């Protein structure tokens, strides 16, 4: 497969397309119909070694010497090339991940926005001067870590590349990216466009492969100075442990069980589209999906009915049919989600959407499902499902709402729907989450908005200007001049 000039069965290392040293490949499956889309490289330790060495060379060469303004200019150029190729990128992502074309198109625009944002930010990260003892001048320098490792999942490849690689390149790091084995075509396309935009060879390397091989090799590599990971809690723990051996910082974004809290005075008409869309977007395979809807008791029946009416109209089908919901990324993921649906056999199904009749039988389709009458401690209200499944939970008052909202091991995103201004401010303080939304959910994606979690949702922040601090290390310079 060679869209945009990529070689899908190769790694991109040091600016060149190179076959994995083992010669091995993996099948990349199209989740809309279960067929093989193409072969991808099964990169492993030797390829990671080569990529880290290429990144180090870039740091010793022109990339390490580039000024902040020059780095920003390259990022701006990458963003422009992303926009020029937006239709091809959207189709690649839709086919690879199984996401409806309109979602894939939104993801391309987000990738371009990340490039634009970090292009503008590159030369605006300043140190400080610190008043000190007589005879001293003291200042701080923000310096890149060096080689940064980026291990990304399959659910939003372009958006996650944008937020993590964008901030890393803006601050002068050189990147080695390990995309997910389920979806890696836009990672390869991005690196190709970055090279065309003038990014020096080796500043951006991509090694596709299995997590336990290429991913583990990248995490454990002594030449990697920072690891950012987005994915499951289990793998996040492995990554933090491996990074401990090299004493390198990690940024972990590990998903959530994010609630929307609907108080009795909420504007339900405004809330409804957010209540449902935040659960079914990308077939629920979103770290910040809102999988729990908490509703004050006296409006509970009304909200369940209104959500159920929307669910009944949802249709799932192939990515390119561009319906409300696409397939899940794989039949493995479908099995996981169906396992959760079985665990909800004791619950009331308030409504289900439909998989369209002519959806290919090999596709990984699951009908969007809304459960009502759910208790806060039920496994469906506690575990991250990563599928188009939401639960609606009643609550009595504000204290009860806070206890339920904060009553999982996660803390990524939360939202609160109320017209009471004082309650909005109280809830923003009381909700345990890295992002809180008041009378909205997600704020349109928010490239500018720092993002990350607490508890099992991880630590560190990506997105926005804040990410630049995470991708740099601080040096204090104290000069004595008498």
Name the residue whose CB lies closest to ligand ADP: 211
118 contacts 167 by C-beta, under 8 angstroms: yes
Three-class SS state of 193: helix
Residue with tokens 């923003």: 428
For residue 370, the minimal CB distance to ligand ADP (Å) is 23
**177 binds ligand ADP per the rule CB under 6 A:** no
Q: Which of residues 234-263 bind ligand ADP (CB under 6 A)?
A: 235, 238-239
**180 binds ligand ADP per the rule CB under 6 A:** yes
For residue 278, the minimal CB distance to ligand ADP (Å) is 19
Q: Which of 103, 105, 164, 219 binds ligand ADP (CB under 6 A)?
A: 219
Q: Which is nearer to ligand ADP, 75 or 151 (CB)?
A: 151
Which two three-digit tokens encode residue 425?
């401010």
Residue with tokens 């997105």: 463
Q: Which is nearer to ligand ADP, 233 or 438 (CB)?
A: 233
Tell me which residue of 472, 468, 410, 397 sits closest to 225, measured CA to CA: 472
In the set 181, 287, 398, 462, the catalytic residue is 287
**178 binds ligand ADP per the rule CB under 6 A:** yes
User: Who's near 98: CB < 8 A, 6+ residues apart?
Assistant: 30, 31, 32, 283, 318, 319, 326, 327, 328, 329, 363, 364
150 contacts 471 by C-beta, under 8 angstroms: no
**151 binds ligand ADP per the rule CB under 6 A:** yes
**145 binds ligand ADP per the rule CB under 6 A:** no
Tell me which residue of 282, 393, 309 sits closest to 348, measured CA to CA: 393
In the set 45, 56, 93, 253, the catalytic residue is 253
Q: Is 70 a catalytic residue?
A: no
**232 binds ligand ADP per the rule CB under 6 A:** yes
**88 binds ligand ADP per the rule CB under 6 A:** no
Applying CB under 6 A, the span of 208-216, 296-304, 348-356, 447-455 interacting with ligand ADP comes to 208-216
**215 binds ligand ADP per the rule CB under 6 A:** yes
HSE-CB for 227 with a 13 A CA cutoff: 32
Applying CB under 6 A, the span of 24-32, 178-186, 317-325, 454-462 interacting with ligand ADP comes to 178-186
Give the total residue count for the chain.
482
Helices 86-97, 101-121: axis angle to 10 degrees equals: 120
**226 binds ligand ADP per the rule CB under 6 A:** no
For residue 42, the minimal CB distance to ligand ADP (Å) is 11
Distance CA 448, CA 152 (A): 20
Distance CA 244, CA 219 (A): 10
Q: Which is nearer to ligand ADP, 113 or 221 (CB)?
A: 221
Q: Which is nearer to ligand ADP, 211 or 326 (CB)?
A: 211
Write down the H helix ranges in 13-156: 45-60, 62-65, 68-84, 86-97, 101-121
For residue 187, the minimal CB distance to ligand ADP (Å) is 10
Decide: residue 23, CB within 10 A, 0-12 exposed, 13-18 middle, 19+ buried: exposed
Q: Is 287 a catalytic residue?
A: yes
**212 binds ligand ADP per the rule CB under 6 A:** yes
Tell me which residue of 479, 412, 450 sits closest to 139, measured CA to CA: 479
Q: Which of 25, 121, 174, 216 binds ligand ADP (CB under 6 A)?
A: 216
**334 binds ligand ADP per the rule CB under 6 A:** no
User: Who's near 453: CB < 8 A, 6+ residues apart?
Assistant: 253, 254, 256, 410, 411, 412, 413, 433, 434, 459
Distance CA 91, CA 103 (A): 10
For residue 306, the minimal CB distance to ligand ADP (Å) is 31
Active site residues: 253, 287
Positions touching ligand ADP (CB under 6 A) are 151-153, 178, 180-181, 211-212, 215-216, 219, 231-232, 235, 238-239
């Amino acid at each position: 497969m060679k869209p945009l000039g990529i070689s899908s069965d190769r790694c991109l290392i040091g600016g060149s397309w190179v076959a994995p040293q083992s010669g091995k490949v993996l099948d990349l499956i199209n989740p809309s119909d279960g067929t093989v889309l193409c072969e991808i490289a099964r990169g492993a330790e030797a390829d990671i070694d080569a990529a880290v060495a290429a990144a180090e060379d870039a740091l010793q060469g022109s990339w390490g010497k580039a000024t902040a303004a020059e780095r920003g200019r390259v990022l701006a150029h990458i963003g422009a090339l992303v926009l020029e190729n937006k239709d091809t990128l959207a189709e690649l992502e839709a086919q690879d991940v199984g996401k409806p074309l309109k979602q894939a198109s939104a993801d391309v625009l987000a990738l371009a926005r990340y490039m634009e944002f970090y292009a503008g930010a590159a030369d605006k990260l300043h140190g400080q001067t610190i008043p000190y003892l007589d005879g001293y001048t003291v200042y701080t320098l923000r310096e890149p870590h060096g080689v940064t490792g980026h291990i990304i999942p399959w659910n939003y490849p372009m958006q996650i590349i944008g937020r993590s690689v964008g901030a890393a390149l803006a601050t002068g790091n050189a990147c080695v990216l390990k995309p997910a084995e389920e979806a890696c075509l836009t990672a390869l396309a991005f690196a190709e466009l970055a090279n065309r935009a003038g990014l020096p060879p080796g500043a951006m390397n991509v090694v596709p492969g299995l997590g336990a091989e290429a991913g583990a090799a990248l995490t454990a590599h002594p030449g990697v100075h920072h690891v950012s990971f987005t994915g499951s809690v289990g793998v996040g723990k492995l990554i933090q442990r491996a990074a401990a051996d090299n004493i390198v910082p990690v940024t972990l974004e590990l998903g959530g069980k994010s609630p929307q809290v609907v108080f009795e005075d909420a504007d339900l008409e405004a809330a409804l589209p957010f209540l449902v869309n935040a659960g079914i977007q990308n077939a629920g395979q979103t770290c910040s999906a809102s999988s729990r809807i908490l509703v004050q008791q006296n409006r509970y029946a009304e909200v369940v009915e209104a959500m159920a009416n929307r669910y009944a109209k949802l249709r799932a089908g192939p990515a390119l049919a561009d319906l409300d919901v696409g397939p899940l990324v794989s039949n493995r993921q479908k099995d996981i989600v169906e396992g959760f649906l079985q665990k909800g056999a004791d619950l009331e199904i308030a409504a289900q959407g439909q998989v369209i009749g002519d959806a290919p039988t090999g596709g990984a389709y699951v009908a969007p499902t809304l459960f009502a009458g759910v208790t806060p401690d039920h496994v469906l209200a506690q575990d991250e499902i990563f599928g188009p499944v939401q639960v609606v939970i009643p609550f009595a008052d504000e204290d009860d709402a806070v206890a339920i909202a904060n009553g999982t091991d996660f803390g990524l995103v939360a939202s609160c729907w109320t017209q009471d201004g004082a309650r909005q401010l109280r809830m923003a303080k009381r909700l345990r989450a890295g992002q809180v939304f008041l009378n909205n959910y997600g704020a349109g994606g928010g490239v500018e908005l720092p993002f990350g979690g607490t508890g099992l949702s991880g630590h560190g922040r990506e997105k926005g200007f804040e990410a630049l601090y995470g991708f740099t290390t601080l040096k204090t310079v104290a000069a004595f001049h008498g």
